[in-house]
Amino acid sequence: MIKDVKLIPLETRVDDRGYLIEILRATDEHFTKFGQVYIVGMVARNVIRAWHKHKILWDWFFISHGCAKFALYDDREDSPTYKEIDTLVMGSRNPSILTIPPGVFHGWMSLEDDTQLISVASEVYNQEQPDEVRVPYDSFNYDWSVKFK
């Protein structure tokens, strides 16, 4: 796993009223600071949103509906996992939160129709000076295809 990236399984509490999943708490050791929360919906499977990284911002991702494949590329020259690539699959049937530190390129692909991602960011997005570096989806020779096993 890329240094400082964490995939934390979440507990689902179920009773006769339904279920409850705590996504992120201010007291979690992997939480740094609150900036904003947003939701991204993917209408169709196989849609790719990639790649970008931040200089300051931390991201926390949670898939509230559907399933997605996340790809990560460590672009931090001082990291022991520099140039390492990781692939993680997250979905509503295995609730977890993905922590991504600054300097790690990341992107994701919807594996099901109507996949929804909830994102918490440590900073407020600044449209005039966005804290992001973007590269094309086919960067790093990453293969986005689904691997049949």
At 56-108, the pLDDT tens digits run 999 999 999 999 999 999 999 999 999 999 999 999 999 999 999 999 999 99
Q: Considering the entire predicted model, what is its pTM? A: 0.93
pLDDT in tens, 82-93: 999 999 999 999
Token pair 């240094």 in the structure block, residue: 3
Residue 83: partners with Cβ closer than 8 Å, 6 or more residues away? 73, 74, 75
Token pair of 56 as six digits: 């300051």
Backbone angles phi, psi at 140, to 5 degrees: 65, 15
Q: Which domains does the chain have, with CATH numbers?
A: 6-125 (2.60.120.10)
**Bridge partner residues of 36 (DSSP):** 121
Radius of gyration of the chain (CA): 15
Rounded distance, CA 67 to CA 64, Å?
9
